[in-house]
Amino acid sequence: MTGIQFIERDGKREFTVIPIELYERLDAALEDADDAALADAARTVDDGFRIPAAVANALLDGEQPVKAWREQRSLTQEGLATMAGISTAYLCQIETRKRVGSLKTLRAIAAALGLKVDDLRD
């Protein structure tokens, strides 16, 4: 016997009273199911992009994003500038916030770093 009781109104079951032990088991099972559903939903929208801790910390410390990502990729300014098809001086100005950089330039830098332009927003 499960100890479940039903409360009827007008001949129809309207409420159920269950022992606390059964309720606690059901509650835990529902929570596990909810957690699994949330994890599945997160996996379906996960694009695999991760921000390395070194980049996250640099950004939190106020570092310019292009510089943080360039250093994480172990690239020199000269190397990234060559890959992006811009001058080293222009890249230096972007990294020191003396210039913002055109959208075309930021696209080239992002492509060279394997990122999206939004990942380089300051």
Side-chain half-sphere CA neighbours of 48 within 13 A? 2
CB 77 within 8 A of CB 88: yes
- Secondary structure (3-state) at 17: strand
CA proximity to 103, closest of 120, 87, 88: 120
CB 64 within 8 A of CB 95: yes
For residues 50 and 26, give the distance between their C-alpha atoms in angstroms, rounded to a whole number. 36
Q: Which positions ≥6 away from 59 have C-beta within 8 Å?
A: 51, 65, 68
Question: Quick one: CA dihedral 76, 78, 81, 85, positive or negative?
Answer: negative
What's the pLDDT at 1?
56
For residues 17 and 81, give the distance between their C-alpha atoms in angstroms, rounded to a whole number. 71
**pTM of the prediction?**
0.67
Tens of pLDDT along 30-77?
999 999 999 999 999 998 889 999 999 999 999 999 999 999 999 999
CATH 1.10.260.40, domain 64-115, yes or no: yes
What's the pLDDT at 48?
87
pLDDT above 90: residue 100: yes
- Whole-number average pLDDT of the chain: 95
What's the pLDDT at 11?
93
pLDDT above 80: residue 91: yes
What's the pLDDT at 55?
97
